[in-house]
Amino acid sequence: MIIMRPAAMADLAQIERLAEASGPMVCTLPVHRRNLLEKVERSLSALQSDVMMPGEESYFFVLEETTTGQLLGTSAIVAQAGYLEPFYAYRNEVIVHSSRALKVHNRIHALMLTHALSDHSQLCSFFITQALRHTHLPQLLSLGRLLFIAQHPERFSQELLAVLPGIADKTGRCPFWEHVGRKFFGIDYNQVEYYNGTRNKTFIAELMPHHPLYVPLLAEEAQAAMGQVHPDAELQFDMLMGDGFEADNFVEIFDAGPIVTARRNTLYSWQQSKVAIVDIGMPEMSDQQGLIINDQLADFRAIVAAIPSVNIPTANSTSLCLKPEQAAALKVEKGSRIHWLPLPEH
Amino acid sequence: MMIIRPVQLEDLAAISALAAKTGVGVTSLPSNDERLAARIERVLKTWRDEATQAEQGYLFVLEDTEQNKVVGISAIEVAVGRTEPWYNYRVGTLVHASKELNVYTQMPTLFLSNDHTGYSELCTLFLDPEYRHSKNGQLLSKARFLFMAAFQERFADKLIAEMRGFSDEAGRSPFWESLGRHFFSIDFSEADYLTGIGQKSFIAELMPKHPLYVDFLSPEARESIGQVHPHTAPARAILESEGMKYEGYVDIFDAGPTLEAYVSELRAVKQSRVWPVVIDDQATSTSNTTYLLANDKFRDYRALLAQVSFTDTAICLPSVIAAALAVDAGDTIRAVTLFSEAQFVKASAVKESR
C-alpha cells in the first residue's frame, strides 16, 4: 500500500537519494545532507507544536510503499514563504505609455522585484519517481498537501503559492538567466539555484537588480521563456492549475518560471473536499478515485483509493466506509474523522 | 568683413533659409516660420529687459557685411527647464556585490534626471556650409562666451551644451532603436522635431522612468552613449578647448553628450581683458595671434576676429575695425585670444611639421 506521511529521521538516506534523482530542477530539494536533515527536524517539530497562526513552521512529507518501506517521492509546505527573510519574486507589471497627442498607446511589460508573496504559504520540494507519473500518486503527494491545509487551516495563510521551474536545457543553460541574472551574478544557473536552496537570502538582496526590468529590452529568448514551465514540471503545473491556481502574475527571479498563486478557498480541493466519519467494511466500490486523509498531525496519513458507490453522488454523505487495510494505512478506526476529495480525471 | 551682432526682425527670411539647410539633428532650429518669428520676438524682448527669467534667451547672427548676408546663427538660453522639465539621462554606476559568493559587478545605469534645470545653455549653432572656412565657425560659437564674460550676472552659474549624438548614414540612431523606439513607437527624427517645436509633454507620458541597466541595450547602443555625431566632433572640440566637459549626462533620445562648465571657469571668461580703444590705422600686429574682440554693449553688441596690436594700456584698432565694432577712441573693447594657449601651440606645431 502506498501512503503519504510526514518524513521521519530514519528517512534521511532515502530522501537524499530522491534529492539526487530530482536533479538541480527542484531547488527546494537540494543534495545537501544538513539542509535535508533540518527540513525533517523542523517538520517534526511543527507537527508536535501547538500552532495558532502560520509562522516559522514547515512540513515535509514522503510517499512510502509500506510493504518494502521504499520512499517514492517528497513534497513540502512552508507556512510562510518569507518568514525570516523576504520571499523574492518578479511581478509581471504592465505600464501604459500613452500620448493622445501622438496617438501612441503602448503597453509595456516590466518585471518588478517584489516581496508581496512573503506572507503566502508555499508548496515546494515536490518530486515523484518517474515511473509513477501516470498514476494518481502525483495527486496524492501534491494535493494531499492541500487537504492537509484544509484540515489544519490555522497553521497556514489564506494565500498559497508554488514556484515551478522555468525553461532550461539539459546542459543547464537557462535563457532567462543568461540574459538577466548572469549580468549581475556572473555564475551559472544551477549554481545560483543551489545557493537559493541552501543559503540565506542576503546574496539575493546584494546582487539582484532592484529596479524594474523593462521586458522589451530583454533578449528575445529571455522574453519567450517568461512564465514558461520546464517540460519535466508540466505534471506539477497542470495539477495545481487544475485545482484552481493562477499563473501569469508572478515569475521566479532566476529562470522566470511561473509562480502560481491561489486564495485557498477558491481551490477545487478546498471547495469539494468533505468531512466524513469512518465506518469499516467491504463496500461496493465506484470508479471514482478519491484522496483520503486523517485528521492527525504527527500521525498524518493520506491514501488514494476508490470511493464506495454509496458516496457517489458526494453530497450529504456523512460517513465513508473503508476496508480494514485502508483504515490501518490511514491509522483510523470506526468513528474517526477523515477528510476526502473526489479526484478529477487525470 | 564677418561680424557677430544680435538678431533683428528683418533677419527672419535669412534664418528661415538657413533652417531649411540644417537637416535632422539641429533641434532648436526647426523649419517652421511661426516658431522662428516667435523665437526672434522672445530674444528681442530679452534685450529690452522685458522678459521673465524663464523666457530669456539671446540669438546672434553672423553677417557677411560685404554681401549683406546672414550666414550663421548661434544662441544662448538663460535658464532651461523653468516652464517644462529639462530631461537628461545621467550615466551612473550601481555596484552589486556579495562577499559571501565572491561576486562583484559594476553596472552602468541610466537615471532619468532633471538635474540641469535652471542652467544656461548654448544652442542653435549653425553655419552655412559655404562659409565653413576662415575660422567663421570659431567666431560664431565663441562670441557667445565673450558675451557671457561681459554680462555674467545675466546668466546661471553653470552652462551646458547638448551635442548631437551618433546616428548612421541612414539617419538611424542605435540608441533610439534599442531604447526609445520601444516606448515611443515613432522615428527618432519625429521625436527630435517635436521636441524642437516645444511639444515636450509626450516625453513625460512616454519615457521610461525607471533606471535602465545599460547592459540590456544593444552593443551599438551602449557604444554610442556619450558619443557625438561625426559632423559634431569639431564643435565638441571647440567647446572642450574653451573649458566645457562631459560629466556623464546624455540626451534621452540619442545619448549624445551634454558638455558643461561653471561660467566663471570658461576660458573666455577667465582670460578676456577689457582695453581702452586707441584708433591707429598704421598699427600692425606684432604676432599672428588672432583675437576675438567685442564691444561689450548689451544692446548694440558687436564681435569679430582680428589680428591687432596692444600697447601697455590700450588696444590699437584700425578705424575700419573700430567702425565695425561700433566704438570710438576712449570706448572699451573686450579681447581674448581666439584659441587657448594649448590649442595655439598645437596648431603652430602642425604648421611647422608640414
β-strand partners of A338:
A276, A294
Q: How far is B17 from chain A (nearest CA, A)?
A: 28
How high is the pLDDT of residue B10?
95
C-alpha cell at B193: 522635431
pLDDT confidence band for A316 (50 / 70 / 90): low
Q: What is the DSSP letter of B31?
A: S
**% helix, strand, coil for chain B, step of 5:** 35, 30, 35
**Residue tagged active-site, from A120, A179, A230, A339:** A230
DSSP 3-state assignment of A292?
strand
Determine the topology of domain A2-89+115-266 in CATH.
Aminopeptidase (3.40.630)
β-strand partners of A108:
A95
Cα A24 from Cα A152, distance rounded (Å):
31
Please answer yes or no on whether B96 and A208 come within 8 Å at the CB atom: yes
Pairing assessment for the beta strands A302-308 and A285-294 based on DSSP bridges: antiparallel
Picking from B188, B206, B222, B252 by the largest number of A CB atoms within 10 A of its own CB, the best residue to mutate is: B206
C-alpha cell at B152: 555674467
**How far is the CA of B20 from the CAs of B13, B29, B57, B72, B117, in angstroms?**
11, 9, 22, 13, 30
**How far is the CA of B124 from the CAs of A31, B27, B102, in angstroms?**
66, 8, 51
Pairing assessment for the beta strands A274-280 and A319-322 based on DSSP bridges: parallel
Mean pLDDT, contiguous 10-residue spans, chain B (354 residues): 96 90 63 86 97 96 96 96 91 92 92 95 92 93 96 97 91 92 85 74 81 94 95 90 96 94 95 94 82 96 95 93 95 94 54 46
- From the list A295, A229, A225, A218, the residue with the least C-alpha distance to A258 is A229
Dmax over CA atoms of chain A, in Å, equals 77
- Nearest chain A residue to B178, by CA: A217
Supply φ then ψ for residue B283, to 5 degrees: -65, 135
Which burial class, exposed, middle or buried, applies to B93 when counting CB atoms under 10 A from its CB (0-12, 13-18, 19+)? exposed
- Nearest chain B residue to A210, by CA: B211
Please answer yes or no on whether A211 and B211 come within 8 Å at the CB atom: yes
B229 has catalytic annotation: yes
- In CATH, the architecture of A273-342 is Beta Barrel (2.40)
Q: What does A100-166 look like in DSSP terms, one character per residue? A: TTTTEEEEEEEEEEE-GGGGSEEEEEEEE-GGGTTSSHHHHHHHHHHHHHHHSGGGS-SEEEEEPP-
Helix (H), strand (E) counts: chain A = 11, 15
Residue B321: which residues within 8 A CB-CB, separation 6 or more?
Answer: B293, B304, B306, B308
Q: One-letter amino acid identity for B188?
A: F
How high is the pLDDT of residue A200?
83
Cα B314 from Cα B291, distance rounded (Å):
14
Q: Which of A98, A102, A183 sits opposite B215 (nearest CB)?
A: A183
Cα B5 from Cα B294, distance rounded (Å):
10
Picking from A194, A196, A214 by the largest number of B CB atoms within 10 A of its own CB, the best residue to mutate is: A214
- From the list B173, B145, B174, B177, the residue with the least C-alpha distance to B161 is B145
ipTM above 0.85, yes or no: no
Name the residue with cell 504592465.
A94
Contact B309, B302 (CB under 8 A): no
pLDDT in tens, A205-264: 888 888 999 999 999 999 999 999 999 999 999 999 999 999 989 999 999 999 999 999
How high is the pLDDT of residue B206?
84
How high is the pLDDT of residue A223?
96
Domain spans in chain A, listed from the N-terminal domain onward = 2-89+115-266, 273-342
Q: How far is A39 from chain B (nearest CA, A)?
A: 23
Residues of chain B positioned with their CB less than 8 A from the CB of A208 = 96
Domains and CATH numbers, chain B: 1-74+130-154 (3.40.630.30), 83-117+157-268 (no CATH), 272-353 (2.40.40.20)
Please answer yes or no on whether A101 and B183 come within 8 Å at the CB atom: no
Q: How much is the average pLDDT of A45-74? A: 96
Supply φ then ψ for residue A318, to 5 degrees: -100, -10
Q: State the number of CA atoms in the 13 A half-sphere of A285 facing the CB.
A: 10
Q: How far is A193 from chain B (nearest CA, A)?
A: 13
Cα B259 from Cα B328, distance rounded (Å):
38
Length of chain B equals 354
How high is the pLDDT of residue A302?
97
Please answer yes or no on whether A209 and B201 come within 8 Å at the CB atom: no
Q: Which of A104, A184, A212 sits opposite B184 (nearest CB)?
A: A104
H or E stretch covering B161: strand B158-162
How high is the pLDDT of residue B342?
59
DSSP 3-state assignment of A338?
strand
pTM above 0.90, yes or no: no
Please answer yes or no on whether B216 and A218 come within 8 Å at the CB atom: yes
Q: One-letter amino acid identity for B119?
A: Y
Q: Which of A101, A183, A216 sits opposite B202 (nearest CB)?
A: A101
Ramachandran quadrant class, B258 (left: phi over 0; alpha: psi -120 to 50; beta: rest): beta
Q: What does A140-159 look like in DSSP terms, one character per residue? A: HHHHHHHHHHHHSGGGS-SE
- From the list A22, A56, A58, A63, the residue with the least C-alpha distance to A41 is A58
Contact B245, B262 (CB under 8 A): no
How high is the pLDDT of residue B141?
94
Q: One-letter amino acid identity for A339?
A: H
